Structure 1
């Protein structure tokens, strides 16, 4: 009997595949070390028993932290506040960012480069610095209240409210919406819009049937980025929301550093991750279906 000899093309393909795995091995190892391993350790920690007298009992396991999340209205209220604020921030970023990206894509040189730098410049400033800036603007003696009083109105409580958190988050997250949409618009041929207009379509119909389907991948990417970052944001809610207006990230911080209940903090972090993934994957699936349907 003669054994089958692999074809040269098959050997070459296997060699290329092996070389590809070897080249990606350092990146995969770094990814596992910096993300997968910490997540697994956090997951294990969330099942440990915590006792205020002896601390973490690593040899005992429990589901009580997750049961407390599901049964305590305090935790449910904070999760609900986190996700409705994140959803509203995402919606406002879409409403503001998509038209801004469209206008940016239609600008000529050098104005396009100038406004692109203006949009990206806030990313060079720390989120903490921007949060302190908003606290100065929205405080009781801030510029906004001074302007309201100058116009004859009574000063308003703006700081440590959902309004302050939402405004600051929109300011921080807006570039993450504009850039993906602007990138998608770069692939759109302006001649397609002109052809639709020349055939009698209105500007609104051109935007709905020609432009919007083309930018949906960018809108989808932007909404996923903005929602994920807003839901896990810590500096803005911590500095502008105060101690009473808690969000999930500030709650995790309190559990770790104030109560020293690390297993509970780990359980809250894992729950935030899972709910965030569920919402984002569901949103991604829904938008992709509508996008494919519009193209088909």
Structure 2
């Protein structure tokens, strides 16, 4: 009996150990580094204070980058939900012979490196890119437009990367949904849109919320796409961290920026998880 009590802990110990070595130890090192000082002549100064965090609290460039980071993440999340949820529902209602093909088309972008995909958007969005060439050929006034190195370009690139995550999360929820529910609603006189809104949508809400959380967290912490499509001037928090670590070599300040981004994402994750729990409890009639 006593052995069975410790069986779960023993079985999970290798994963916990691997997680601690691969993730928690580096994060702990970054957190400790963020409390140290830096001098351009002496390098890292072994002191322990909150000077880096105090300087970031009054740094307008960092606050602007932080606001831009979360603004882009929210916009990308909303667009991905608007595209991914109906797309997953349409694929779910397809005939089986087409369903697998469409899922492969949706998941296809995940099989290509994010850097390669972003280079593709650079070709499309450049001043002489295919989009501007097409607009000039159509005689659109004002073409060519400046699309590269803008928030629009970053959002477009991130949406392309993140939509499959929403589709897969919602698809998993739809797979657990009893198809008889929607048919019963339609047999009682509800249209397809009403049946989806009143019956299907509440049942797949956990998948929608999970997809939204994944998209938000990954968009807020993304580096390659914002760096390539946003350029050096349009900073987000991840690119500021990269600059401090590898350009100015101010590792303690870069560590402080990384810690603040991590804490902000964790706070959003906890609030979002709490929202999901409250919805689940209300559906069960608890609380």
Q: Tell me the distance in 1 between the aligned counterparts of 2:216 and 2:109.
A: 19
Name the structure 1 match of 2:272. Answer: 283
What is the aligned partner in structure 2 of residue 47 from structure 1?
Answer: 35
SS in 2 for 1:50: strand
2:178 corresponds to: 189
How far apart are the structure 2 equivalents of 1:83 and 1:126? 24
Pick one of 197, 200, 215 that aligns with 1:208: 197
Q: CA deviation at 1:175?
A: 0.8
Q: Which of 118, 121, 141 is equivalent to 1:134? A: 121
Look up the match of 2:11. 23
Determine whether 1:148 maps to 2:135. yes
Aligned pairs, how many? 283
Shift of the alpha carbon at 1:23? Answer: 2.2
Scaled by the length of structure 1, what TM-score is found?
0.92
Quote the Cα distance in structure 2 between the aligned partners of 1:118 and 1:202: 29
The answer to whether structure 1 residue 63 and structure 2 residue 87 are counterparts is no
Matches within 5 A, 1:1-296: 12=1, 14-58=2-46, 60-153=47-140, 154-294=143-283, 296=285
4+ residue runs of structure 1 moved beyond 6 angstroms?
Answer: none
Task: Give the TM-score, by structure 2 length.
Answer: 0.95
Max Rg structure: 1
SS of the counterpart of 2:44? strand
Is the CA contact 1:56–1:263 (under 8 Å) kept in the aligned structure 2?
A: yes
Tell me, in whole angstroms, the C-alpha distance in 2 between the residues paired with 1:234 and 1:81: 13
- Secondary structure at the aligned position of 1:130 is classed as helix
Q: Secondary structure at the match of 1:260?
A: coil
CA RMSD of aligned residues (A): 1.3
CA 19–280 in structure 1, closer or farther in 2 if over 3 Å, else same:
closer
